[in-house]
Amino acid sequence: MDRHFFWGNSVSSMQTEGGWNEGGKSLSVYDIVEPGENRSDWHFANDNYHNYLEDFRLMKDLGMNMYRFQISWSRVVKDGDGEFNEEGIAYYDRFIDDLIAMGIEPMICLYHFDMPLKLAKEYNGFVSRYVQDAFVRYGEEMIRRFSHKVRYWITFNEQNLYSQPLAFRIGGYWQGDKTIDELYHIECNVMIAHARICNYLHANSDAKIGGMVAYSEIYPATCRPEDILAARKWDEFINFNLLDAFAKGRFSNEVMHYVKTKGIDTGLTQEDLDILAAHKEDYLCFSYYASSTISAEPIPKDAYVNYWLQHGGKNNPYIPATEWNWQIDPLGFRDVLNKLYQRYQLPVFPIENGIGVQEEWDGVHEIEDDYRIDYHRAHIKAMYDAINEDGVEVLGYLGWGLIDILSSQGDMRKRYGVVYVNRTNHDLRDMKRVKKKSYHWLKKVIASDGKDLD
CA distance 192 to 160: 13
Mean pLDDT across the stretch 102-125? Answer: 98
Model pLDDT, residue 2: 41
Mean pLDDT across the stretch 405-433? Answer: 97
Catalytic option among 17, 105, 158, 182: 158
Q: Where are the domains of the chain?
A: 6-447
- Torsions phi, psi for 97 (to 5 deg): -60, -40
pLDDT band at 153 (very low <50, low <70, confident <90, very high): very high
What is the fold, at CATH topology level, of the domain defined by 6-447? TIM Barrel (3.20.20)
User: Is residue 366 among the annotated active site residues?
Assistant: no
Q: Which helix (H) or strand (E) holds 105?
A: strand 105-111
Give me the sign of the Cα torsion angle 176, 179, 184, 185.
negative
In 279-354, alpha helices (H): 308-312, 330-344
Mean pLDDT across the stretch 74-79? Answer: 98
Query: Does the pLDDT at position 1 exceed 80?
Result: no
Give me the sign of the Cα torsion angle 185, 187, 193, 196.
negative
User: Is residue 217 among the annotated active site residues?
Assistant: no
Query: Does the pLDDT at position 3 exceed 60?
Result: no
**pLDDT per residue as tens digits for the range 189-238:** 999 999 999 999 999 999 999 999 999 999 999 999 999 999 999 999 99
CA distance 35 to 425: 8
For residue 377, count other CB atoms closer than 10 A to its CB. Answer: 18
| Cβ(177)–Cβ(289) below 8 Å | no
| Nearest in space to 383 (alpha carbons), one of 413, 353, 425, 418 | 353
